[in-house]
């Protein structure tokens, strides 16, 4: 069991979080659900040319970002060509990407509890925006900080993208928490001085994310949505939602269309 029980680190972190930063591939969706990552990695490897001597791990990896990292180590020109192709593949993959269970509940819980949401991703900004628009999240997620060029050094585990998001939110690092499913996400949060929640969406990930220094581990975004609902940032917002809730409950309790007289008006 790697999930955080009630009264745990997850509650403590969420209670201090004013801005939730979500990694894209993993916490928001599985971008390569329909177009396999391994196919994309193969397409990227072709750009190295037939005679390129690739290290074994790069020749075999199913992770397009690892192929891109190697291209960046070879030359700027190759990095630019691989990045352009990868952006095209990511945009194509958006059509068959699978939403992560409960991600919409997490975004709603953030809104209802007075928190803002941003995306911080090594995937292309174009693909992230395309996905958010397609799934009705574009007007609910204020800021996207993601890959916009072939400069690999700016991507996580560098703190660069997270720090950019913190500035764009006009926030303090201590008010921000990143939810990520990779060790590089956690490493980037530590360098950027923001809190982290590891999303352990595969067996063994919880241990790796914990070892990297994740502040808490969740196995399902449902746990995060519940914790967000429990800790409201802005008390005025809580009062507003309570008023709306009791008004809606009153409407449900009253028989509709009968025009039942109010107390004191019957006689
Ligand atoms: Mg990820």
Which is nearest to 79 in space by CA: 67, 91, 88?
67
Q: Which of 39-53, 95-109, 166-180 has the lowest mean pLDDT?
A: 39-53
User: For 184-217, what is each residue's pLDDT tens digit?
Assistant: 999 999 999 999 999 999 999 999 999 999 999 9
Q: What does the pLDDT look like over 106-117, one tens digit per residue?
A: 999 999 999 999
Interhelix angle 183-192/205-212, nearest 10 degrees: 20
Q: Tell how far CA 186 is from the center of its chain.
A: 13
Distance 217 CA to ligand 1 centre (A): 14
In sequence order, the β-bridge partners of residue 196 are 178
219-231 average pLDDT score: 97
The pLDDT value recorded for residue 52 is 74
Which segments of the chain belong to CATH 3.40.50.1000?
9-30+100-230
- Indicate the pTM of the whole model: 0.86
User: Cβ neighbours of residue 86 under 8 Å, at least 6 residues apart?
Assistant: 40, 44, 64, 65, 68, 124
Q: How many Å lie between the centroid of ligand 1 and the Cα of residue 142?
A: 19
Burial of 171: CB neighbours in 10 Å, binned 0-12, 13-18, 19+: middle
Q: Tell me how far the alpha carbon of residue 226 lies from the centroid of ligand 1, in angstroms.
A: 22
**Dihedral angle of Cα 236, 237, 243, 249, to the nearest 10 degrees:** -160
- How many Cβ atoms are within 10 Å of 76's Cβ, its own excluded? 12
Asked whether 219 and 206 are in contact (CB, 8 A), the reply is yes
50/80: higher pLDDT: 80
pLDDT of residue 5 exceeding 80, the answer is no
Q: Answer yes or no: are the C-beta atoms of 9 and 213 closer than 8 Å.
A: no
| CA 85-117-146 angle, 5° bins | 20
24 CA from centroid of ligand 1 (Å) = 6
Say how many Å lie between the CA of residue 256 and the centre of ligand 1.
Answer: 48
Cα of 23 vs centre of ligand 1, distance in Å, is 6
**Under CATH, domain 9-30+100-230 is a member of which superfamily?**
HAD superfamily/HAD-like (3.40.50.1000)
Using the mean position of ligand 1's atoms as its centre, give its distance from the Cα of residue 74 in Å: 24
Q: What separation in Å is there between the alpha carbon of 230 and the centre of ligand 1?
A: 26
Alpha carbon of 180 to ligand 1 centroid (Å): 6
What distance in Å separates the CA atoms of residue 172 and residue 156, rounded to the nearest whole number? Answer: 19
Which residues have a Cβ under 8 Å from the Cβ of 243 and sit 6 or more positions away? Answer: none
From ligand 1's centre to the CA of 131, what distance in Å?
15
**Residue that has been written with the tokens 């070879």 in this structure:** 74
């Amino acid at each position: 069991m790697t999930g955080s029980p009630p009264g745990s680190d997850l509650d403590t972190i969420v209670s201090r979080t004013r801005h939730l930063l979500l990694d894209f591939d993993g916490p928001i969706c599985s971008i390569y659900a329909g177009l396999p990552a391994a196919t994309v990695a193969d397409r990227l490897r072709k750009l190295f040319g037939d005679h390129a001597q690739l290290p074994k791990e790069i020749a075999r990896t199913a992770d397009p970002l690892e192929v891109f990292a190697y291209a960046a180590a070879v030359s700027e020109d190759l990095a630019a060509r691989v990045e352009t192709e990868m952006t095209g593949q990511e945009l194509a993959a958006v059509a068959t990407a699978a939403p992560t269970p409960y991600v919409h509940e997490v975004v709603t819980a953030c809104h209802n509890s007075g928190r803002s949401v941003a995306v911080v991703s090594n995937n292309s900004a174009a693909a992230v925006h395309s996905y958010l628009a397609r799934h009705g999240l574009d007007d609910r997620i204020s800021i996207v900080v993601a890959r916009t060029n072939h400069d690999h050094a700016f991507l996580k585990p560098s703190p660069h993208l997270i720090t950019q998001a913190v500035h764009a939110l006009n926030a303090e690092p201590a008010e921000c928490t990143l939810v990520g499913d990779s060790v590089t996400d956690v490493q980037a949060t530590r360098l950027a001085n923001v809190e982290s929640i590891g999303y352990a969406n595969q067996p063994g990930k919880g241990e790796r994310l914990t070892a990297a220094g994740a502040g808490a581990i969740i196995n399902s975004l449902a746990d995060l949505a519940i914790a967000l609902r429990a800790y409201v940032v802005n008390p005025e917002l809580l009062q507003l939602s309570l008023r709306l809730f009791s008004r809606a409950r009153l409407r449900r309790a009253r028989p509709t269309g009968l025009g039942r007289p109010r107390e004191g008006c019957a006689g």
